Amino acid sequence: MSDVTAPAYRVIPIIPALKPGAMEGKGPFVASDKINEAIGFPGQLVEDWHDRAIAKMGELLGKYRSLKVFMDACVHCGACSDKCHYFIGTQDPKNMPVARQDLMRSVYRRYFTLPGKLFPKLVGARDLTREVLDEWYNYFHQCSECRRCSVFCPYGIDTAEVTMAAREILDSVGYGQKYSNEIIGKVHRIGNNLGLPGPALEDTLQGLEEDVKEDTGIDVRFPMNVKGAEVLLITPSADFFAEPHIDSLIGYAKVFHATGTSWTLSSMASEAGNFGMFIGNYEQLRKIALRIREAALELGVKRIVVGECGHAWRVAYSFWNTLTGVGEGADPNDKFAQMLQKQLDHRYKQPMHICEFTWDMIGRNALSFDKEANDKHIITFHDSCNVARGSSMGGYPGGQFDIPRNIIKAVANNFVEMPLETTREKTFCCGGGGGLLTDDLLDLRVKGALPRMEVLQQVADEHGVNFMATICAICKAQFTKIMPIYGFDRRTVGGVHQLVSNAIILGEK
Amino acid sequence: MASVIFAALFYLATLVFVVGLLYRVNIYARTPAPLKIPTTPAPTDKGGVVLRMAREVVLFESLFKASLWTWSVGWLFHASLALVVLRHLRYFTEPVWGWVALLQPFGLYAGFTMLLGLCGLWVRRLFVERIRYISTPSDHLMLVLLIAIAVSGLLMQFAAHTDVIAVKDFFLGLQRFDIRSLPVDFVLYLHLLMVALLLLIFPVSKLLHAPGVFFSPTRNQADNPREKRHVAAWAKQLESESGK
């Protein structure tokens, strides 16, 4: 991996020329028998993979209107063709969203449409051969499911949905990806993606209490499994030990402390991330989400708040109510959802993002800050893809853009925007989302970060930006790893609540 | 003889078009969307969704964000096509509806802008490397077909006039299952043949983007997942099976 280098910045961000085959290959590590079987998939590629894959595809076409419509509706207009960060970084034409979709669409046409059955060549239909299956495995693991293409498609075709379906089909024939499937196994076995057992978490939290006491002289608690707490905090497990994630965890704890909110973590649900979404498997998505429901019911909490994590917030905001009944508006006969919804306090949004919580408290004058504590930073904000295009905050369209920025401006003096073409709903993925945050894909990750690094360089040169805040655990881990390759200090990236933590005034107000 | 063949062809094409389209739309409507996946920021209520869809269908909002060139030629083609199709209603109605008569002068020249848009789209498909890469033979042929329809139509209007009174008589007749004679005119035959072909392939081709867009969950869902529980029937079953 030492030979991985950053691609050159484009002088003017022109659309790159095609380099066919640039990213051909075997794709990320394939999951072992043990990993696959632990979560109910065949251990390795089954003998009748062809028939089972086609049958699975038929099943998904009947279960997901998105897939069905997206397979039919594309007219090959090319609106999406220059929008993917992996295409921009790799120049491989199969990383154009439309071409990635066509890897599956060509098979769809062959087996599920009349013209494809009669005239395959004419409509670009292909048999599902072993080569095609391998191509799926490779290129559907070069998509981070960031939905940038779906912003620009005149029919709203979302490649993420196609990628999820492809991975679901691959898993169903025993051709799963090691990284994602191993993590899903861990979350079921141990409670979080990193495999930190309960006692280790307790230790970490105790250590944090000591650190904060040393720093501030104040007893900020990091409670775990406290029954009857007001708030259950669900946060990505990286927040417990990874840098810079942990600084945001300290920030959340300080906000809860300063506002006098009783809160708790759960060892059983010590993970906000949900890789079930990445592999497009509804049952896994649901099963992982149900841990949060179980923890909430067991601890009797009134509110559920989610920490800084992009895809986790998409799952929490957009899917939890569907999967687990965390939210409101359940049918009166819907016993499953009513059980939880009766327990929760509906004066607050359920679930709530930690940024919504903090911003709400700032609005109530419940927090005070020493903004100068952040004066060493000239800050910009990187919108994380899943937050930007798959969720919202504050109950109005675009709240997911305003609220984190409002918080930054409330706790720091120097804030600079990156160019509008690369922020808000047009933001670029960090390059490591969607189950690709693994070292066997480092080359892809470095190349995929190109568009973001280009504009970061620009605001660094023009405005002296030296800190890029973000609210996603994957963004933080990805940038920490790839920024040095682009010549940035790895501490250039950090959380919004890291800035909150720096500036918050604890103790007597 | 030609009249009978064309009559049969148009009955068949209309049948395939209507039944095929209803069949597809029915599938789209009945296939569940189990998760809330609007591309955000998205409207939070139905009224907002209707507005978003209207902007998408009438103005091609997303395409506008994506590429001004593709948007210009694409929108020019579709807007012109809409005018041309509406203008053609005069050949199927007697008396001609007032608003169709009003459209007549615009509809006539829309044929040219339609052709211009189509040529723009084809030039893009032929000469932009990325678009050429993703094009299948059918993508090119679809444009050729539409261009041929436009050219043959314009020829009849502005060069080799056909007997439109007789053509209208033929189509009014078809509506009463009365086969009247069609003028003997090669350009007219070509025009009609290709229009029938377009109707025939509509329900099995990428032309399904027209009904498809209305069923696209990223565009037609309201962004209110926290306020309203959304569960598909097949997903609901998981709840009773697992008991939790």
* Three-point CA angle B200, B201, B205, nearest 5°: 155
Contact B62 A336 (CB under 8 A): no
- Least Cα distance to B173 among B94, B96, B104 occurs for B94
Angle, to 10 degrees, between the axis of helix B98-127 and the axis of helix B68-88? 150
State the smallest CA–CA distance between residue A476 and chain B in angstroms. Answer: 22
H/E stretch holding A306 reads strand A303-306
Helix locations, A113-176, DSSP H? 114-118, 130-139, 148-152, 159-172
* Sheet containing A467-470: order of strands: A379-381, A467-470, A493-495
A359 pLDDT above the threshold of 50 = yes
Residue A53 · residue B200 · CB < 8 Å: no
User: What's the pLDDT tens digit per position in A62-73?
Assistant: 999 999 999 999
State the smallest CA–CA distance between residue B43 and chain A in angstroms. Answer: 6
Terminal-residue alpha carbon distance, chain B: 69
Percent of chain A surpassing pLDDT 90: 94
Nearest CB to B229: which of A17, A154, A322? A322
A499 pLDDT above the threshold of 70 = yes
What is the model's pLDDT at position B121?
98
What DSSP letter does each residue of A248-299 carry, written as one string?
A: HHHHHHHHHHHHT--EEB-STT-----HHHHTT-HHHHHHHHHHHHHHHHHH
Sort residue A236 into left (φ over 0), alpha (ψ -120 to 50) or beta. beta
State the smallest CA–CA distance between residue B156 and chain A in angstroms. Answer: 30
- Which residues in chain B have Cβ-Cβ distances shorter than 8 Å to A65? 28, 31-33, 215, 217
H/E stretch holding A456 reads helix A450-463
Residue A228 · residue A221 · CB < 8 Å: no
User: What's the pLDDT tens digit per position in B172-218?
Assistant: 999 999 999 999 999 999 999 999 999 999 999 999 999 999 999 99
What is the model's pLDDT at position A196?
87
Task: Tell me how far apart the alpha carbons of residues A267 and A263 are, in angstroms, rounded to a whole number.
Answer: 14
Q: What is the mean pLDDT of residues B4-18?
A: 97
Q: Which of B229, B234, B241 to mutate to test the interface with A (most CBs of A within 10 A)?
A: B229
Q: What is the mean pLDDT of residues B142-164?
A: 96
In three state form, how does the secondary structure of A391-439 look? CCECCECCHHHHHHHHHHHHHCCCECCCCHHHCHHHCCCCCCCCCCCCH
Contact A329 B204 (CB under 8 A): no
A1 pLDDT above the threshold of 70 = no
Q: Which CA distances in Å does B62 have to A204, A233, B4?
A: 47, 37, 45
What is the model's pLDDT at position B8?
97
Task: Tell me how far apart the alpha carbons of residues B237 and B81 are, in angstroms, rounded to a whole number.
Answer: 46
Task: Tell me how far apart the alpha carbons of residues A252 and A502 are, in angstroms, rounded to a whole number.
Answer: 12
Task: Tell me how far apart the alpha carbons of residues B164 and A307 are, in angstroms, rounded to a whole number.
Answer: 70
A109-116 own/partner pairs: CB under 8 Å, 24+ apart = A111/A54, A111/A57, A111/A58, A112/A57, A112/A58, A112/A61, A112/A71, A113/B204, A114/B204, A115/B138, A115/B201, A115/B204, A115/B205
Contact A76 B136 (CB under 8 A): yes
What is the model's pLDDT at position A423?
97
User: What's the pLDDT tens digit per position in A269-288?
Assistant: 999 999 999 999 999 999 99
B141 pLDDT above the threshold of 80 = yes
Task: Tell me how far apart the alpha carbons of residues A483 and A477 are, in angstroms, rounded to a whole number.
Answer: 10
The bridge status of strand A493-495 relative to strand A467-470 is parallel
Q: What is the mean pLDDT of residues B55-79?
A: 98
**SS3 for A5?**
coil
Contact A330 B229 (CB under 8 A): yes
Provide the 10 A C-beta neighbour count for residue B73: 20
Structure-token match 């969720």, residue found: A391
Contact A18 B235 (CB under 8 A): no
Task: Tell me how far apart the alpha carbons of residues A401 and A383 are, in angstroms, rounded to a whole number.
Answer: 7
Task: Tell me how far apart the alpha carbons of residues A395 and A397 are, in angstroms, rounded to a whole number.
Answer: 7
What DSSP letter does each residue of B94-155 carry, written as one string?
A: SSPPHHHHHHHHHHHHHHHHHHHHHHHHHHHHHHSHHHHHH--HHHHHHHHHHHHHHHHHHH
Which pLDDT band, with edges at 50, 70 and 90, does A508 fall under? low
Nearest CB to B128: which of A78, A157, A319? A78
Q: What is the mean pLDDT of residues B102-107?
A: 92
A509 pLDDT above the threshold of 60 = no
- Which residues in chain B have Cβ-Cβ distances shorter than 8 Å to A391? 40
Q: In chain B, which residue's Cα lies nearest the Cα of A159? A: B218
Q: Which of A77, A83, A319 to mutate to test the interface with B (most CBs of B within 10 A)?
A: A77
Which pLDDT band, with edges at 50, 70 and 90, does A421 fall under? very high
B212 bridge partner residues: none
**SS3 for A47?**
coil
- Which residues in chain A have Cβ-Cβ distances shorter than 8 Å to B33? 64-66
Phi, psi of B52 (to 5 degrees): -60, -45
State the smallest CA–CA distance between residue A73 and chain B in angstroms. Answer: 4
A352 bridge partner residues: A305
State the smallest CA–CA distance between residue B170 and chain A in angstroms. Answer: 31
Residue A147 · residue A389 · CB < 8 Å: yes
**Token pair for A492:** 């250039």
Q: What is the mean pLDDT of residues B75-92?
A: 97
- Which residues in chain B have Cβ-Cβ distances shorter than 8 Å to A124? 136-138
In three state form, how does the secondary structure of A92-114 look? CHHHCHHHHHHHHHHHHHHHHCH
Query: Chains A, B: CB contacts under 8 A, how many?
Result: 230
* Three-point CA angle A273, A277, A278, nearest 5°: 90
ipTM of the complex: 0.96
Task: Tell me how far apart the alpha carbons of residues A402 and A164 are, in angstroms, rounded to a whole number.
Answer: 29
What is the model's pLDDT at position B239?
84
Percent of chain A surpassing pLDDT 70: 99
State the smallest CA–CA distance between residue A184 and chain B in angstroms. Answer: 19
Residue A143 · residue A92 · CB < 8 Å: no
Contact B212 A72 (CB under 8 A): yes
Averaged pLDDT of chain B = 95
What is the model's pLDDT at position B106?
93
Residue B136 · residue B205 · CB < 8 Å: no
Burial of A4-43, coded b for 16+ CB within 10 Å and e otherwise, reads: eebbeeeeebebbebeeebbeeebbbbbeeebbbbbebbe
**Token pair for A316:** 């929490």
- Least Cα distance to A246 among A213, A208, A214, A219 occurs for A208
Task: Tell me how far apart the alpha carbons of residues A8 and A447 are, in angstroms, rounded to a whole number.
Answer: 10
- Which residues in chain A have Cβ-Cβ distances shorter than 8 Å to B229? 321-322, 325, 327-331, 334, 337
Q: Where do the domains of chain A lie, and which CATH numbers do they carry? A: 33-176 (1.10.1060), 188-357 (no CATH), 368-503 (3.40.50)
A312 pLDDT above the threshold of 60 = yes
Fold of B2-31+42-222: Fumarate Reductase Cytochrome B subunit (1.20.950)
What is the model's pLDDT at position B240?
67
A340 pLDDT above the threshold of 60 = yes
Q: What is the mean pLDDT of residues A238-251?
A: 96
- Which residues in chain B have Cβ-Cβ distances shorter than 8 Å to A397? 40-44, 48, 223
What is the model's pLDDT at position B243?
47
Q: Which of B23, B24, B39 to mutate to test the interface with A (most CBs of A within 10 A)?
A: B39
- Least Cα distance to B231 among A107, A335, A147, A93 occurs for A335
State the smallest CA–CA distance between residue A505 and chain B in angstroms. Answer: 32
Phi, psi of A396 (to 5 degrees): -140, 150
Q: What is the mean pLDDT of residues A444-462?
A: 97
Q: What is the mean pLDDT of residues A91-111?
A: 98
Contact B216 A327 (CB under 8 A): no
